């Protein structure tokens, strides 16, 4: 079994180790929840203060031009495009993930109806992130479509039939970390005559993504997870150039107008992806997001996303090795794919009976020790198929190999000493 001394050596030899200095991490904290909220970059506070004090406080409205505020959604969009295999001018930062999904799903439905009016089926996974399913359900009702949810990834190929109009998937599943084969599924969907939308919330900044290479149709993603943009950071939206001007997105706001400052009463959509922006951008949030995206781009001299992915795999493989060696006899089981090619940058664990209901308390006991992961409840009626999980995200920009070793040791102690039984860890809060 890998020792802590081995991990020290791996950290010393890690070519990405200097990138950790971009962040302010609380002393004594092992942060394994970057797949929910990324860490604060050191540059963010100064940059946001500059926007507040200088650009807003002193230059006021002039900053839309002098500070380039008006171009910030496109400028940051071009930076994110480098991480997800899109070209400059194809991706825009705007609004929230949910709103952007509403835009692209509406566009995809419209295009599908133009091509094949008889197709009225939308397919996704039951384990997809709920907001994606809620938006899909809403649009299915509006357009007279049917939303079909598959229970297992093996059921997706059979759903790619002559009735399908749109397939909507999150590339890396938020619960299990399962990673879809974007290229293969996109090709299969197109062969069936349908369109595909990819949610990159757990992909962008975590795994290499090649939207153009995969020939994807639409993609959306958030800025507050692996892109380190801060809580509630703006999201992003991408449409393949062949689709970008084929359909009006439904939230036709003033800044998505072809000439927004002419203030005409009729809407004329801007060219390309710019029509997918809606209202006035939130400058403070955009400034913070740009600092976060820059922390990921800082890996480019070291090999970029390929180097980050290599370290991510090494970290998650080590976590699995140690968790199984130290905690399997205490009831811990791997709930993520063992195959590294089918796993994102997170590892999920489940607990055997009678501990299967103790997951929340275990996570709270870990947090009390300074190891921050999170808990996701399963389906009480189907715990064998959808168990409660302990979820751990591994952001290679600031997580090291000794962090992984120490986190597993804390997990072993929480379980072996039964710390999770303490009363203060039992009561579930609103955010778990």
Catalytic residues: 129, 199, 224-225, 391
- The Cα 39–Cα 43 span in angstroms is 12
Beta sheet of 389-393, edge-to-edge order: 332-334, 346-351, 389-393, 374-376
DSSP 99: H
Write the CB contacts of 124 (distance below 8 Å, at least 6 apart in sequence).
132, 133, 136, 147, 148, 149, 150, 167, 168, 169
DSSP 247: S
Please count the CA atoms within 13 angstroms of the CA of 72 that sit on its side-chain side.
Answer: 25
Which residues are paired to 375 by β-bridges?
390
- The Cα 75–Cα 332 span in angstroms is 45
Q: Is 62 exposed, middle or buried (0-12, 13-18, 19+ CB in 10 A)?
A: exposed
Report which of 190, 172, 168 is spatially closest to residue 181, judged by C-alpha positions: 172
- The Cα 331–Cα 341 span in angstroms is 26
Answer whether 344's CB lies under 8 Å from 177's CB.
Answer: yes
Report which of 330, 332, 430, 319 is spatially closest to residue 30, judged by C-alpha positions: 319
- The Cα 154–Cα 52 span in angstroms is 51
- The Cα 32–Cα 27 span in angstroms is 14
Answer whether 398's CB lies under 8 Å from 325's CB.
Answer: no
Strand 164-170 versus strand 121-125 pairing type? parallel
């Amino acid at each position: 079994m890998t020792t802590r001394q081995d991990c020290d050596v791996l950290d010393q030899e890690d070519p990405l180790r200097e990138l950790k200095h971009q962040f302010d991490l609380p002393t004594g904290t092992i942060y394994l929840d970057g797949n929910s909220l990324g860490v604060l970059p050191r540059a963010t506070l100064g940059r946001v203060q500059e926007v507040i004090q200088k650009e807003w406080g002193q230059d006021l409205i002039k900053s839309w031009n002098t500070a380039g505020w008006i171009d910030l959604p496109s400028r940051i969009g071009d930076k994110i495009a480098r991480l997800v295999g899109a070209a400059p001018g194809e991706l825009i930062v705007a609004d929230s993930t949910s709103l952007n999904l509403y835009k692209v799903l509406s566009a995809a439905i419209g295009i599908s109806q133009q091509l094949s009016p008889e197709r009225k089926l939308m397919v996704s996974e039951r384990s997809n992130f709920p907001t994606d399913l809620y938006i899909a359900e809403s649009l299915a009702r509006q357009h007279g479509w049917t939303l079909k949810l598959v229970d297992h990834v093996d059921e997706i190929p059979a759903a790619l039939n002559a009735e399908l109009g749109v397939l909507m998937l999150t590339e890396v599943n938020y619960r299990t970390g399962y990673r879809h084969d974007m290229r293969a599924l996109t090709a299969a969907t197109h062969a069936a005559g349908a369109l595909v939308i990819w949610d990159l919330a757990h992909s962008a900044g975590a795994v290499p993504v090649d939207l153009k290479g995969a020939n994807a149709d639409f993609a959306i993603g958030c800025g507050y997870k692996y892109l380190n943009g801060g809580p509630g950071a703006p999201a992003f939206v991408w449409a393949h150039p062949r689709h970008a001007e084929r359909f009006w997105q439904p939230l036709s706001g003033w800044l998505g107008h072809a000439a927004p400052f002419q203030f005409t009463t009729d809407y004329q959509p801007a060219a390309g992806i710019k029509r997918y922006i809606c209202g006035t951008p939130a400058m403070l949030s955009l400034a913070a997001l740009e600092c976060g995206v820059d922390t990921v781009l800082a890996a480019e001299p070291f090999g970029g996303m390929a180097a980050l992915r290599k370290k991510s795999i090494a970290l998650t493989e080590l976590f699995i090795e140690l968790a199984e060696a130290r905690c399997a006899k205490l009831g811990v089981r791997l709930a993520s794919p063992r195959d590294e090619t089918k796993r994102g940058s997170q590892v999920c664990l489940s607990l055997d009976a009678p501990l299967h209901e103790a997951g929340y308390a275990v996570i709270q006991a870990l947090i009390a020790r300074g190891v921050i992961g999170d808990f996701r409840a399963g389906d009480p009626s189907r715990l064998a198929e959808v168990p409660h999980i302990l979820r751990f995200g591994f952001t290679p920009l600031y997580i090291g190999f000794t962090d992984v070793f120490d986190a597993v040791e804390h997990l072993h102690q929480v379980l072996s000493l039964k710390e999770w039984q303490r009363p203060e860890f039992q009561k579930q809060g609103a955010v778990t």
